[in-house]
């Protein structure tokens, strides 16, 4: 599938039913019998969503991986259980992400959208920011706190993105106000908006919503990419 081959028209209630059933019938036999449902109800719409988001995401970062394929921008349903206590064979959620294609991608910011039976969520942030990255962020906050306050002023808006990420048990010493402290004290972080299933999820309107919300935090993404 190439970007532009299909137009996203929304996910369906049947897609959510499939993801719910994956959780209830997590076996190879069940999946093999319902592989077509996965392809038609879940994977194909996600590919269409990725393809429709490509122009907006390239405007944020021309270096993004944009191929609407499993293992590129789309998650695998099959889980690697070799090193996990959870031996479930299949995930009961599917997500797409826009990130630069590099082996150490987890150390850099990325955009994401995730669908599960309970609804959807999306945002931007780090899968696991290394200490060096967070130290670089703190140095930049220290050097230009007003610049950071300006680029992160989207936080705290009603119905906007919420900041998540573990905090240090012992707060780091800094004179910054609470609005900056909430970033300064994180070990890693990500931004997220979430919603139960709604009319937007089941229509093409989801594309415009994601385009607008991702664009609104595009300047902050570029600020993070510039950390050294």
How does pLDDT run across 105-114, given as a tens digit for each residue? 888 999 999 9
Give a yes or no: residue 78 inside a domain.
Answer: yes
Give a yes or no: residue 3 inside a domain.
Answer: no
Give a yes or no: residue 79 inside a domain.
Answer: yes
Give a yes or no: residue 73 inside a domain.
Answer: yes
Question: For the segment 191-226, what is each residue's pLDDT rounded down to a tens digit?
Answer: 999 999 999 999 999 999 999 999 999 999 999 999
Partner residues linked to 96 by β-bridges: 74, 113
Could you tell me the sign of the dihedral formed by the alpha carbons of 85, 87, 89, 90, in that order?
negative
Q: How many CB atoms sit inside 10 A of residue 137's CB?
A: 19
Look at the block and give the residue holding tokens 């991986």. 65
Give a yes or no: residue 34 inside a domain.
Answer: yes
> What's the domain count of the chain?
1
Kindly indicate the confidence band of residue 168, based on its pLDDT and cuts at 50, 70 and 90: very high
Which CATH number characterizes residue 210's domain? 3.30.930.20
Give a yes or no: residue 154 inside a domain.
Answer: yes
Give a yes or no: residue 8 inside a domain.
Answer: no
Structural domain that includes position 164: 13-225
| DSSP states of 1-60 | --TTSS------HHHHHHHHHHHHS-SHHHHHHTHHHIIIIIIHHHHHHHHHHHHHHHHH
Partner residues linked to 70 by β-bridges: 74
Question: For the segment 43-88, what is each residue's pLDDT rounded down to a tens digit?
Answer: 999 999 999 999 999 999 999 999 999 999 999 998 776 566 666 7
Confirm if 69 and 47 have CB atoms less than 8 A apart.
yes
Give a yes or no: residue 7 inside a domain.
Answer: no
Token pair belonging to 99: 């990130």
Range list of H helices, 152-193:
178-184
* pTM of the full structure: 0.93
Cα separation, 150 vs 160, in Å, equals 16
Predicted pLDDT of residue 20: 96
């Amino acid at each position: 599938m190439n970007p532009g081959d299909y137009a996203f028209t929304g996910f369906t209630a049947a897609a959510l039913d499939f993801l719910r059933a994956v959780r209830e019938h997590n076996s190879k036999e069940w999946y093999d019998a319902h592989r077509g449902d996965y392809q038609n109800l879940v994977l194909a719409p996600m590919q269409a969503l990725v393809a429709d988001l490509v122009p907006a995401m390239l405007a944020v970062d021309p270096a993004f991986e944009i191929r609407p394929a499993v293992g590129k921008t789309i998650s695998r349903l099959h889980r690697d259980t070799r090193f996990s206590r959870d031996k479930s064979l299949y995930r009961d959620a599917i997500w797409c992400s826009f990130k630069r294609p590099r082996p150490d991608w987890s150390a850099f910011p990325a955009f994401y959208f995730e669908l599960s039976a309970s609804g959807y969520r999306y945002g931007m942030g780090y899968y696991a920011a290394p200490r060096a990255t967070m130290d670089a962020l703190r140095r930049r906050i220290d050097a230009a706190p007003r610049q950071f306050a300006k680029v992160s002023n989207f936080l705290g808006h009603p119905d906007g993105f919420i900041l998540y990420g573990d905090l240090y048990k012992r707060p780091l010493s800094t004179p910054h106000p609470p609005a900056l402290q909430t970033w300064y004290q994180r070990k890693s972080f990500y931004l997220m908006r979430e919603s139960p299933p709604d009319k937007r999820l089941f229509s093409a309107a989801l594309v415009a919503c994601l385009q607008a919300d991702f664009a609104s935090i595009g300047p902050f993404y570029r600020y993070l990419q510039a950390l050294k």
